[in-house]
Structure 1
Amino acid sequence: MPLQEAWPILIACGVLLLCQGTLLFLDARKRGGKAWFWGLWGLIQFPMPTITYALLLWWKKRKRK
């Protein structure tokens, strides 16, 4: 695939990772837990950080009851 055809895909991936990292950072900061870790991990890969974060939130909520 020539580089000219790859630009839209690379830009879309970058926007997706930036949004994921930002949302994870803001939510973790609001809840008071390792915001920088979640934000940086969210910038590196997709979708494992979001899935892990959601599972941990579910597990903590379930544990409280």
Structure 2
Amino acid sequence: MKEFNLGDIVEMKKTHPCGSNRWEVIRIGADIKIKCVQCGRIVMLPRSKFEKNMKKLLMINN
């Protein structure tokens, strides 16, 4: 299981149509809600799909 917290910036495998692949984690639970850093679009994914598609953790929010 990958470790991430609220406010962390993650890089996803696929790019968003706006051209960015960086997302901010804004909700954690059974589903993960993420917000595109570039355009602000909010997407909710099941935790399993999020962990599978997350490439790496870029910035950790303290």
Sort the TM-score into its range (normalised by shorter chain): under 0.3
Q: TM-score, normalised by structure 1?
A: 0.25
Q: Which has the larger radius of gyration?
A: 1
TM-score normalised by L of structure 2: 0.26
Say which structure, 1 or 2, has more relative contact order (CA 8 Å, 6+ apart). 2
